[in-house]
Each structure stands twice: as C-alpha cells, then as structure tokens.
Amino acid sequence: MGSATVERWYQFFIRQRVSELSGRSCPQVLGIDEHLFSRKQGYATSLVDLKNHKVFDVVLGRSEPSLQRYLSRLPGRTQVRLVVMDLSETYRALVRRYFPNARIVADRFHVVHLVNQHFLKLWQQQDPEGRKNRGLLSLMRRHQWTLKADQQQRLAQYLEERPVLKALYAAKQRLMRFLLMKTLNAKRAKKVLPRFLALLEQFDKSPAKALATTLRSWLEPIVRMWRFSKSNGITEGFHTKMEMISRRAFGFRNFENYRMRVLALCGWNGIINRV
C-alpha cells in the first residue's frame, strides 16, 4: 500500500472522529489560554477540559469579534462551573458573557509572574546597576526560603544598603507566601483574607501601588486559587504538544487541518473504533 493511500485513509478517519466529537458539551472545568498559530493568521484560543486532561477545542482568534460566533453557539456553555485563565481582561469579559454560571480562577503561574515582573521594574528604578548583576538577579527571583545560608547572607548585605528596596523585597516575599497557598477550606480562607488585604494596603503606600491595584481588580479569581487546585499548567503542556505537531508538519496554512490534527492527537485516546 502506498504512502498516499495511507495518508488519505488517515485523513478520512480523522475527519470521521472529529465529526463524532462535534456534538460534545462543554466540560465543567475549563481552561482557556492563547497560543500562536502562525505569523500570518495570528493567535488561536485553546479550550481544555482540565478534569479529564483533554483538549476540548481550538478556535482561531483571541478577541471577542473573532470568538463571538463560536462561543454563542457552543453547546453546554451554561453547565461550565470553573474557568481557569491568566489575567486577561479580554478573556474575563468573554467568560462573564458566554459562561454565565462559571467562576473564574486565576492561574497561579501568571499571577506569580506578574508580581516578579513588577518587582524587577521597581528594582530597575531603585538600582539600575544592581539590576544588571546576574548573580543578584538569580537571588532576587527565587523565593527567600529556598536560598542557602551563604546566598541569604549575600542578599542581606546588598539590601542592607538600600532600605527602600529591602522593604519591597520583604513585602514581596510575604505576598508570595499568600499566592502559593493551595487547597484551603472556606474557613481557613476567610481567616487568611484579612491579612492578604492588609498587605495590599501596605503596597498602596509604596512604589508598588500599581501592582496592588492590579491584584485588587483580580481579587476574587486570586482568592479562588486557594480553594481550587486546578491550573492552566495542563493547557500549557498541550501548547507544547501543539507546537510539536506544527513543527512536524512544517507549519499549517489551513487552520481547520491544524484543528483536526490537534483534536486527533490531544482531544481523545487515539483509538478509532471500526464501523
């Protein structure tokens, strides 16, 4: 049997399987994130079933005009209970409009990344020369409780000469401890929340006021991170697989062919039952 015949039958069974999956309803726990499809056509939005670790669908575009038609016709969107996403205002507006019964949970990785980026900008303002030191940069980025004794001593000597930066660094470490909390019950979360809000008030009176404003605008999704363990790490893992699929095909010009290949390799178990 020739390779062209194998490819033709493979494409036929892929289309058949994707058509069988087209009638599925939205999962209750949904992950939403973007990834680059091509330079010409731009970004695509990934919808992932975080409970079953499967790709639910891939849609071209990441703005409301490009996703409006798809989301308005999506079956079972009212049964979605949780949506995990990064701190994107566009996706938050889409979730509120098209998933009315869903609660938004912020992705922990993106929240921590946001805090680190703000802190590095403040460090640049306080000490531009020290910010260029790669050794100090490594120490500043890591959590204080993971540093060795000699590393903590070196960092303490550097911060001792810069009291403003020292105070910002200490506040950042306290903030990180709050953001890394997981699987808290409702009673424990209610006790932690006042201390978290008090820390944000301290940021309001410091050079990190912009960070406090951003965190406060996403307060409910961030607090829900303490209760729910799901994150978009599963989605990011699928994005790596999607990138490998695209590389093996030397890129896709047709988005529908790309979508079918992604659903075939990431959206089901890879076994086609004979008819």
Angle at 189 between CA 84 and CA 94, to 5 degrees: 25
Distance CA 57, CA 259 (A): 8
| Per-residue model confidence (pLDDT) at position 274 | 34
Segment 159-173 mean pLDDT? 93
Confidence check: pLDDT of 269 > 80: no
Q: What is the mean pLDDT of residues 246-256?
A: 90
Determine the average pLDDT of the residues in 130-153. 92
pLDDT digit string (tens) for 172-231?
999 999 999 998 999 999 999 999 999 999 999 889 999 999 999 999 999 999 999 888
Distance (Å, rounded) from C-alpha 145 to C-alpha 143? 6
Tokens (6 digits) for 74: 């999506």
CB 229 within 8 A of CB 110: no
What does the alpha-carbon distance between residue 37 and residue 43 come to, in Å, rounded to a whole number?
5
pTM: 0.85
Q: Where are the domains of the chain?
A: 3-106+231-266, 108-227
Q: Which of 3.40.50.300, 3.40.50.2300, 3.90.960.10, 3.30.420.10 would CATH assign to domain 3-106+231-266?
A: 3.30.420.10
Which helix (H) or strand (E) covers residue 246, if one does? helix 233-248
165 within 8 A of 126, measured Cβ to Cβ: yes
Indicate the pLDDT class of residue 272, thresholds 50, 70 and 90.
very low
pLDDT of residue 275: 31
**Interatomic CA distance for residues 102 and 99, integer angstroms:** 6
**Which tens digit of pLDDT belongs to each residue from 9-30?**
777 776 776 666 666 788 999 9
- Per-chain mean pLDDT for the chain: 89
